[in-house]
Amino acid sequence: MTFEPLLERMPTSRPAPMRDQSGLLGERPSYSSEADFKIHGGCGLMGICDESGTLMSGVEAIKAMAVQRDRGNGLGGGYAGYGIYPEFPDHYCFHMMYHDLKAKEDAEAVFDKYFVIDLAEPMPTRAVKGISDAPLLWRYFLQPDPHKFENAEISADDYIVHAVMLINSSVDGAFVASSGKNMGAFKGVGFPEEIGHYYLLEEYEGHTWTGHNRFPTNTPGWWGGAHPFTLLDWSIVHNGEISSYGINSRYLEAFGYKCTLGTDTEVAAYLFDLLLRRHKLPLELACKALASPLWTEIDRMPEEEAAVYRSLRAVYGPAMLNGPFAIVLGFNGGMVALNDRIKLRPLVAARQGTKIMVASEESAMREVLDAPDQVWAPKAGEPVIARVKGMEWPIHGDLHLSASEVSCAVTGAHDSCETVEVG
Amino acid sequence: MTTTTKGPIEGYIVTTPSSTRDGDTVTIDAQSVYYRQVNEATRAAFADGAKHVVLNHVNGQRYIGTGIKGKDLKITVNGTPGQDMAMLMDGPTLEVFGNAQDGVGNTMNAGKVIIHGDAGDVLGYGMRGGKVFINGDVGYRVGIHMKAYEGLRPIMVAGGKARDFFGEYMAGGLLILLGMNSRLEGPLVGGYVGTGMHGGAIYLRGEVEPWQCGKEVGVFAASEDDIADIKPVLAEYCEAMGMDLDEVLSEPFTKLIPVSHRPYGKLYTYM
Amino acid sequence: MPTSLLQPEFLVEIDYDKCHKCGRCVQQCGWGVYSFNERPFPDDSKCRACHRCVTYCPAHCIKIKKNDLALRENANWSSEQRKNIWRQAESGGVMLTGMGNDKPYQSIFDHLVLDACQVTNPSIDPLREPMELRTYLGHKPDSVEVESNGEGGFRLKEGGGVSNNVKLDAPIIFSPMSYGSVSLNVHKSLAMAAERLGILMNTGEGGLHADLYPYQDNVIVQVASGRFGVTSEYLQRGAAIEIKVGQGAKPGIGGHLPGEKINKEVSTTRMIPQGSDAISPAPHHDIYSIEDLRQLIYSLKEASGYKPVGVKIAAVHNVGAIASGIVRAGADYVYLDGFKGGTGAAPAIIRDHVGIPLEIAIAVVDQRLRDEGIRNQASIIAAGSIRSSADMAKAIALGADVVAIGSAALMALGCHLCQGCHTGCCSWGLTTQKPELTRRVDPEWGAERLTNLVHAWSHELQEILGALGVNAVESLRGSRERLRAVGLDAQTCEILGVKPAGL
């Protein structure tokens, strides 16, 4: 069976997006700086990582998401792939979404000013039934302009994030979908298998893939709003609804983050940034801060361990993600999957040789792994961690941004950004 | 840029699946077929007089066996069935050669589900009658709100270990956990066992710590009478799973029953 | 000339057909309403409608009615205004009263409604699933620092975690009420209940009686301007120390416990002579400015071996900046007492007209501390008429860590809010030192009633959390997104950080 007839035969009915999509990037929902709406939704997700670094086709990610099709409603699908650009391992790759040619020209002016571009090309795509109103999609392999960069006296990662902010905040109709090295995000409005097919994911090979199927109950119908959310090489896909959003966002605001998208995913992204990069918590403990053990469990721990968890909980209580969720954080060194502390959203995991896979449903993993050595359901709040051999760990030691800069770079929401000059 | 194409991208197709009939048995190839068509084909086969439907290459298709009524019908699933299998099922026997996902036996009324593998979360939610036998491990909230009604008594047996909230809100029936065919590390069962329990009985092959149990539960060593009561069920389970009944009975069982049918009688003050 | 223009507030009606003539009403009334001559005769003018006699009358033959004397209606000159003028014209005195503000100010709590989950996220069953109310009171670092323990796990770095916090099993404690203003049996009831509940009682400013030493791990010891009973031993006994700067019922006003209430036990506990007045100055005379507060906080920490030290203030106009200063001065918690908070005695004019609503104070302080990035450094305790678990949940959603209850606790012990605390004649044996009255409260009985009340509110809070789809109180704390306003003006909504219902 080939892919085209498959799509023709799939049911394509889906709720009409609430917004006119013709505007897409130019008419991004006007996010207020106080996130005065909250987007509700449920979803399905997957993640796979080959710890040996062996590359897998993007088809695997599509297969895993296609099986979980009924977990979404066709209003958002997306993927992140790692190790997909071996020809440019040291270049930052910008995946760009443009509303129109003017936006492209303006964004490229920024690239020209601050970077050396070694390759600029349209994203390879194919026409897919069910996908319409796509923005102009381009990608750029670039490196900081050495002259500008030296003067900037900041790390290369910081330099990149500043550029992301500059584009997202000041270039109308342009949005940075991803900006990491040797990785990329492929996302849009549609069912995930349609999106994967649209982006020709079968032509990419990566050591780590994450995927997402979105079921928003209130959607801006905006390509940039689909999962994954990214910054540099980290990406987040997320399933569920965080009932503690109100306090999580207020907690982050006290550290300078601006929650402008009104999505749980955004909150989760900032919490990881705060805990891992700024507070330098080990990944395992950051996960435990976000999905804390119950007090009764903490009380049963040996005292040395209990002291750690008591402190984590007392200090990061406002950061705890309460309510049903499953989340996959991808980065160049691997991936982390985590779900809530009483397992209100599904997450299953499997291992086959050096491959570790997670998904919302076991069938997604059976579609990809022909003979898993082990299939298990992780305990509530117990992270599944995959580390690619030889890759850097932990993530982003070289990023020194403020919280509001991170907010701006992730969401691209105009209101959260002050115009930033690079270099 | 890599340009290797890995062949066709698998996904569900909306088409009537291919099937073959041999006497009372209809075999359906569910490979990549969307759940609606698989289930339509299943129902059509039974409507056409078949007694046994074999579903091959199942992976992720939802609602298999859901709502199907009839005592002498059988469905065999080869693969990994999707969510809500055997929901509201009323009579048939459904046998799975593989693992099952979440929501098996939801509000099931009668019949038998045999899973030769593990199963996921929220199994037997509100199950009113029939039997669910799982060979291996089960997830969170298993046997949640199983109830009994007049002659109906739901029975669930899992051969492996279980996570938290085993038998939550249990209002009737029989829930048995053996801990024998497990791939999980850690205790036989998680926390909050029988929390909110106000009917029925839970039997664990092994012991539980007090912290693992809900506050509504009384914990007892199973007596000879208790074992005599569950022995026919275990015998039926062993037969289905190819296990040795004597080995199952070689370890002592713990019996958990509610201490009250109205655990919250004192919670409220009337205005 | 008439000696008084004031007529009795209440009429005591006895159905003599039903009356047993047992004299129990005479015995029970602390106000001296009844005399007895073959049957009880009431003096209506002394009745405060405390219902002690009604409760204990075996024949149920006593009715207390409002003395509904018609005065010519005047929307401006309420009957109360007129009566107060007559009262002051007679005595020339400052009107003194007890309990909290009784004027019909809007209750903001009553204009806030809570959210609940439907479909997009699930509610949680609080009876069967974990529903955690545990709360740590005190300073928390901004981040936790750990190091490898050499066995694949982690341990806290020296000073990298939370220390010096008080563990509470529920986010509710008892407000400060001093021994002197209330009886020892009330203190014992509170202390025993606090121990059973895993929460705290608060000595108030009257010292810690030796009978409470067994419960000292569940006691906040207060240091007020009168420094009654304050010694280094006293500080070391408490689970935490509280500097009382102000009280919601009487911001900026000191206290005065009359000599007649200073019996031998009170005298010993307060370390002042028997029969002498106990005066609490309006300010602490070692705190004339914020840097002095810091000095006092650290001297108390030094003297106590670094126990948590909190500061209690009345909610006043500039409460945000004041609270910020308190936190920066090193306080481990800020106790906000709203303008409806109770008191043993306060000038009615102050009680009823000074201060701001608690709801506003919580919202402003929580936001101010967040804006300054110091919210983690101190807990917020909210008090001043927390009337139900709904008020508690709303206070927590606005940003409080913990609520404190005083009036509600006294009501659990029998108080009917007759506002006669300042008289020392409390028929329920609460705000009195008369031995024949104080023995009416059996501490065991009192502890059980207080325990019941807090358990009931805790259950209700768990129901609220479950409906909100969260299973730990820290996920409600400061989560104003889960509140909506009904019938509040836009500016109040903005100050509260709460959207109107529908948005």
Pick from C128, C456, C459: which is nearest to B168 by CB? C128
Query: Residue by residue, what is the 3-state secondary structure of C262-299?
Result: CCHHHHHHHCCCCCCCEEECCCCCCCCCHHHHHHHHHH
Could you report the per-residue pLDDT of C179-195, keeping only the tens digit for each?
999 999 999 999 999 99
Q: Kindly determine whether residue A312 and residue C144, on different chains, have CB atoms separated by under 8 Å.
A: yes
Beta bridge partners of B53: B26, B75
* C124, C125, C128, best to mutate vs chain B, most B CBs in 10 Å: C128
Neighbours of C298 (CB within 10 A): 14
Q: Kindly determine whether residue B1 and residue A203, on different chains, have CB atoms separated by under 8 Å.
A: yes
Q: Which of A57-66, A150-159, C469-478 has the lowest mean pLDDT?
A: A150-159
Q: Kindly determine whether residue C459 and residue B169, on different chains, have CB atoms separated by under 8 Å.
A: no
Could you report the per-residue pLDDT of C282-316, keeping only the tens digit for each?
888 888 888 899 999 999 999 999 999 999 999 99
Which residues in B lie closer than 8 A to residue A62 (C-beta atoms)? 9, 11
CA of residue C182 relative to chain centroid, distance? 13
Residue C42's SS3 state is strand
How many beta-carbon pairs under 8 angstroms link A with B? 122
Flag whether pLDDT at A181 surpasses 90: yes
Percent of chain B with pLDDT over 90: 83
Chain C's closest residue to B165, CA to CA, is C129
Could you report the per-residue pLDDT of A7-33, keeping only the tens digit for each?
333 333 444 333 333 333 334 443 333
How many angstroms separate the CA atoms of C198 and A292, rounded?
Answer: 22
Could you report the per-residue pLDDT of A75-103, keeping only the tens digit for each?
889 999 999 999 999 999 999 999 999 99
Q: Kindly determine whether residue A315 and residue C370, on different chains, have CB atoms separated by under 8 Å.
A: no
Flag whether pLDDT at A235 surpasses 70: yes
Flag whether pLDDT at A129 surpasses 80: yes
Chain B's closest residue to C458, CA to CA, is B267
Pick from C128, C456, C459: which is nearest to B214 by CB? C128
Model pTM score: 0.88
Residue C401's SS3 state is coil
Q: Which of A18-27, A129-138, B105-114, C446-455 has the lowest mean pLDDT?
A: A18-27
Flag whether pLDDT at A225 surpasses 90: no
Q: Measure C401 CA to nearest chain B CA, in Å.
A: 26
Given a contact cutoff of 8 angstroms between Cβ atoms, the answer to whether C94 and C347 are in contact is yes
Active site residues of A: 43
The residue count for chain A: 423
- Closest among C310, C255, C261 to C284, alpha carbons compared: C255
Pick from B192, B267, B269: which is nearest to C129 by CB? B192
**0.90 surpassed by complex ipTM:** no
Scored b (16 or more CB within 10 A) or e, C308-330 reads bbbbbbbbbeebbebbbbbbbbb
Neighbours of B89 (CB within 10 A): 32
Pick from A246, A278, A285: which is nearest to C146 by CB? A285
**What pLDDT score was predicted for residue A423?**
39
How many angstroms separate the CA atoms of C265 and C371, rounded?
Answer: 47
Dihedral sign for Cα atoms in the order B22, B26, B27, B32: positive
Say if C129 is an interface residue toward chain B (CB within 8 Å).
yes
| Strand segments (E) across B98-167 | 110-115, 131-134, 155-158
CA atoms within 13 A on the CB side of A268: 35
